[in-house]
Amino acid sequence: MPYTPYQKGSVLDNFTLGKKVVWSILAVTAALMLDSCMSYPVDIERNAGEVLVWDETLPKEQSVGLSIPQFVRVTSYNGISVDWRTGKVVYLPPGKINLTITLMDRNSWGAFVWKEDLPFEWTFRAGDRYTLRDRTEWGLFPGLTLQNMNEKLAWEDQITYRFPSPKIVLSPPVQNHGSQGSATLVFGKSLMMRAYNDDGEQKSMYPSGVWEAITVTVPAGGTSMNFDYCHYIQRFSTDVLVYGQNLELNYSFEAGKEYTIAGYHKRQDSVIEYGVAIWDYASADGNPRVLQKGTILASWKLGEIK
């Protein structure tokens, strides 16, 4: 089976990943503490370093008010270059708004760029007031939390925005052909599922918010799976992390059978190949490469470490 080329994601060691996770937790904690001291609706100009009204003919109450906090920069608005940084409040016309976002590295207190040229698109209503807070998912993938300044909401009920990434299709769609029965799938620890068969809600699949192995039952035949990928590989005395977003895998599963879909890696001379594989059994811990049992039915190479 031919491998699908893939551009390898960034490589981090455990220490770097740990710092990102810690900063993510600290950011949420700080936001919660700040929120507990607020009275709503919040006057977003109260602590603003600068206020910009984009359209002076539009009353503020009919505008969209956005507050730019630390670690977030806006570099374009609807295709126009801007430089909106920490402490700035901007009032914009309502409707569909396109921004280009740069997120600064919390590990350097915002002295260095972490991710840049991130596309943001959202439709706002007149009178909306939000703070665009940076967030990371699983300590890896950048996003925003749109903290509502008009209404007090629990942190988990705030709007979360996931920056879009190009879809990487590992295998073409598979037709069902009217198959009967069902199959059991274990999505391993190295995959964070977004949906399968165009169904599935991430919060219901991961109710604890922890990236872990999950088991689902699907109709036999063609199944489409969309997921993010995160896989640890031991190289010498270091655990190397490889990861990517928005992968799509299609496969035809047999009725009454059990399968595990997870990350794999194998060494060939001085090169470590890694990717996604399907095993012919249900792994108890979602980590089949450790158990060394079963057979790999199919695999898709994502990259190499030299």
CB 44 within 8 A of CB 61: no
Q: Does 33 score more than 90 pLDDT?
A: no
Q: What's residue 163's pLDDT?
A: 95
DSSP per-residue codes, 123-164? EE-TT-EEEEEEEEETTTEEEEEEEESSS---GGGSEEEE--
CB 276 within 8 A of CB 296: no
Q: What's residue 6's pLDDT?
A: 33
Quick: pLDDT tens for 78-93. 999 999 999 999 999 9
The more confidently predicted of residues 291 and 270 is: 270
**204 φ/ψ angles, rounded to the nearest 5 degrees:** -75, -30
By mean pLDDT, which of 102-106, 241-245, 292-296 is the weakest? 292-296
H or E stretch at 258: strand 258-268
Neighbours of 110 (CB within 10 A): 18
Residues 6+ apart with CB under 8 A from 46: none
* Residue 142 three-state SS: strand
Quick: pLDDT tens for 162-219. 999 999 999 998 877 667 899 999 999 889 898 888 765 555 677 777 778 999 999 9
The more confidently predicted of residues 118 and 6 is: 118
Q: Averaged over 217-237, what is the pLDDT? A: 89
Q: Which pTM value belongs to this model?
A: 0.76
Q: Averaged over 52-80, what is the pLDDT? A: 97
Q: Averaged over 83-110, what is the pLDDT? A: 96
Tokens 């972490």 map to which residue? 114
Q: What's residue 38's pLDDT?
A: 75
Residues 6+ apart with CB under 8 A from 24: 135, 136, 139
Distance CA 260, CA 205 (A): 16
Helices (H) and strands (E) in the chain, counts: 3, 20
CB 136 within 8 A of CB 105: no
The more confidently predicted of residues 248 and 288 is: 248
Q: What's residue 238's pLDDT?
A: 82
H or E stretch at 235: strand 221-235
By mean pLDDT, which of 23-27, 67-71, 109-113, 205-209 is the weakest? 23-27
* Residue 72 three-state SS: strand
> If we measure between CA atoms, which residue out of 116, 109, 139 comes closest to residue 241?
139
- Average pLDDT, rounded, for the chain: 85
Q: What's residue 44's pLDDT?
A: 96
Instruction: Let me know how long the chain is.
Output: 306
